[in-house]
Copies of this chain bind each other. A is one copy, B any other.
Amino acid sequence: METTTLIPANSLMTATPEEGRQLAIKMARLIIKTTQPDAQIRENLRAVYANDAMLLLAVGHTVAIEFSTIAAANDYWRSPR
């Protein structure tokens, strides 16, 4: 099985919208991790954006874009699975 570092399970498909949303958060975080591989620095920066209104909104903005792709991939979870 291929090791992935950017998309868990190497798939955009999820069983539910909730899981799609979780995937969007993970995908957004993994880009940050790839760009800044040092865990300690990421931890410090996390403390910064979790306490800054503009940065929190920026997190939400990127997750919204990632989610729009995942939702389209899953045909918006319209059909029963």
Contact = CB atoms under 8 A, between A and B. Distances in A.
Interface residues on A, range: 35 or more
Nearest to A63: B31
Copy total for this chain: 6
A31 B29 CA distance: 13
Contact of A25 (B34, B62, B78): B34
Contact of A53 (B10, B16, B49): B49
A67 B32 CA distance: 15
A12 B56 contact: no
Interface of A: 2, 4-7, 10-13, 16-18, 21-22, 25, 27-28, 31-32, 34-36, 41, 45-46, 48-69, 71-73, 76-78
